[in-house]
C-alpha cells in the first residue's frame, strides 16, 4: 500500500482516470463477482466464470483488463491469444488451482488410461491442456450428463463440486482431492445455528462447499445462479454461503432484501477470498496506466489448453 500511495496522486479521481484509460486503450474490464465493490462498479461486465469466458471470447476490445484470479485471466488469454490481457495483480492465484499440480495430475491420469478428464475451470492452463473438457459450476451438471454413462470420468480439481455432480447425476466420477480454502471454511454447525435464528431465510450455497453444508442448502449453484435465486425466490432474507463479494450484486438487484453471510468455522474474515481481494482499484488504475502486469503464456500451451475450453463452449 505504501508504494501505491507514493505512486498515485491522491487528488486523482480513479474512477474518471480508469474510464479515460479504458477509452485510450480500447479496453474492456471484466470482473468476477468476488471482486471489491468499487471494481465491480467500474467494470464493463461482472459475471461468473462462464460468463467471463464468454465475454472474453466475444470481445471486440483491443485490450482485456481482467479483475479476477490468474486462471480466469489465463482463460481470457487462451481465447484471445493475440490480445494483451492485463491484471491488477499477477499474484492473485487460487488455492483450488494450486491443489492440482500438472506433473502430479499427469501421473494420476496415466494411472487411469480409459478415463475422460473433465476439469473445473478453476485450474491452471497446464491442467487444462491435460483435460478433455472444461466445466464451470454453471454448466458442470449439463456437460457431465452429455457424456455416455459407461464412460469413466476423472473430475479435477475440486472434490466438493465433483462430489455434488456425482450426487445429482448418479455418476461415480473419480475425484481429484482439491478444495477451495474459502468455501471449505463454512461451518455446518454455525450454519444450523444461524438457520434457527432466521428460519424463513433460504440458504444459498456454492457447490465448492463441503457436503454437510450443501445438505442444508435450499439452492446450490454457481455465483450467477445464487444471484438469480436471490432475485426470484420469494423471501425477505437469505443466508449466503459463498464469498461475500457477491452480496454487492444481490443488494443492487433486490434493495429490499437482506443478505446474511454464513459464518466461517473461526471468528475470522476468511470467507473473503485472499486471492481475489489482492486486486484493488489502485492496482487496476496502475495496470491500465502502465500496461503492466500483462499475462504472458507459452503459445504451444495456449493451443493445447484451448481445445477443452472450446468443447465446453460447444456443450454448454
Residue 48 binds to ligand SF4 (criterion: CB under 6 A): no
> At closest approach, how far in Å is the CB of 222 from ligand 13P?
3
Query: Please, which of residues 153-182 interact with ligand 13P by CB under 6 A?
Result: 180
Among 100, 130, 173, 180, binds ligand SF4 (CB under 6 A): 180
Report the nearest approach of ligand SF4 to the CB of residue 78 (Å).
Answer: 17
State the binding string over 200-229 for ligand 13P (x if CB under 6 A, else -).
--------x-------------xx------
Site string for ligand SF4, 199-238 (x = CB under 6 A): ---------x------------------------------
Cis ω for the linkage preceding 235 (within 30 of 0): no
Which of ligand 13P, ligand SF4, none has residue 95 at its interface (CB below 5 to 8 Å by kind)? ligand SF4
DSSP labels, 187-212: -HHHHHHHHHH-TTS-EEE-TTS-HH
Residue 168 DSSP SS3: helix
> And the C-alpha cell for 280?
484493488
Q: How far is CA 126 from its chain centroid?
A: 18
Q: Which residues lie below 8 Å from residue 158, measured CB to CB, with a gap of 6+?
A: 96, 120, 122, 176, 178, 179, 180, 208
User: Using CA atoms, how far apart are residues 75 and 79, in angstroms rounded to an integer?
Assistant: 6
* Binding test (CB under 6 A) with ligand 13P, winner from 36, 48, 124, 209: 48
Among 106, 116, 181, 315, binds ligand SF4 (CB under 6 A): 181
- By beta-carbon proximity to ligand SF4, the closer residue of 147 and 191 is 191
Q: How many residues bind ligand SF4 (CB under 6 A)?
A: 14
Instruction: Please count the other Cβ atoms lying within 10 Å of the Cβ belonging to residue 98.
Output: 16
Which residue from 276, 283, 219, 282 is spatially nearest to 248, judged by alpha carbons? 276
Q: Please give the residues from 99 up to 158 whose contact with ligand 13P meets the rule CB under 6 A.
A: 122, 136-138
State the residues that interact with ligand SF4 by CB under 6 A.
Answer: 34, 69, 94-96, 122, 180-182, 208, 243, 273, 275-276
Amino acid at each position: 500500500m505504501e508504494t501505491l500511495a507514493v505512486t498515485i496522486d491522491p487528488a486523482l479521481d480513479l474512477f474518471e482516470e480508469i474510464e479515460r484509460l479504458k477509452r485510450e486503450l480500447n479496453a474492456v474490464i471484466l470482473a468476477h463477482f468476488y471482486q471489491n465493490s468499487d471494481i465491480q462498479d467500474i467494470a464493463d461486465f461482472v459475471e461468473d466464470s462462464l460468463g467471463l469466458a464468454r465475454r472474453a471470447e466475444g470481445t471486440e476490445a483491443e485490450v482485456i483488463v481482467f479483475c479476477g484470479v490468474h486462471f480466469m485471466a489465463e482463460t481470457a488469454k487462451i481465447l484471445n491469444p493475440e490480445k494483451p490481457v492485463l491484471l491488477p495483480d499477477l499474484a492473485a492465484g487460487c488455492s483450488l488451482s494450486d491443489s492440482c499440480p500438472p506433473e502430479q495430475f499427469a501421473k494420476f491420469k496415466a494411472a487411469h488410461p480409459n478415463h475422460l478428464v473433465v476439469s473445473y475451470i478453476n485450474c491452471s492452463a497446464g491442467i487444462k491442456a491435460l483435460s478433455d473438457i472444461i466445466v464451470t459450476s454453471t454448466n458442470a451438471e449439463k456437460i457431465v450428463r452429455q457424456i455416455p454413462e459407461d464412460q469413466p470420468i476423472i473430475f479435477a480439481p475440486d472434490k466438493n463440486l465433483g462430489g455434488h455432480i456425482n450426487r445429482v447425476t448418479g455418476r461415480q466420477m473419480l475425484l481429484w482431492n482439491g478444495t477451495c480454502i474459502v468455501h471449505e471454511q463454512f461451518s455446518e454447525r454455525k450454519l444450523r445455528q444461524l438457520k434457527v435464528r432466521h428460519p424463513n431465510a433460504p440458504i444459498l450455497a456454492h457447490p465448492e462447499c463441503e457436503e454437510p453444508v450443501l445438505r442444508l442448502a435450499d439452492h446450490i449453484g454457481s455465483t450467477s445462479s445464487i444471484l438469480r435465486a436471490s432475485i426470484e425466490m420469494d423471501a425477505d432474507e437469505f443466508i449466503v454461503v459463498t464469498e461475500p463479494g457477491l452480496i454487492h450484486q444481490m443488494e443492487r438487484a433486490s434493495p429490499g432484501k437482506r443478505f446474511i453471510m454464513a459464518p466461517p468455522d473461526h471468528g475470522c474474515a476468511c470467507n473473503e477470498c485472499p486471492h481475489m481481494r489482492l486486486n484493488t482499484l489502485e492496482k487496476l488504475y496502475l495496470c491500465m496506466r502502465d500496461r503492466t502486469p500483462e499475462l504472458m503464456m507459452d503459445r504451444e500451451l495456449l493451443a493445447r489448453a484451448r481445445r477443452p475450453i472450446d468443447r465446453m463452449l460447444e456443450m454448454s
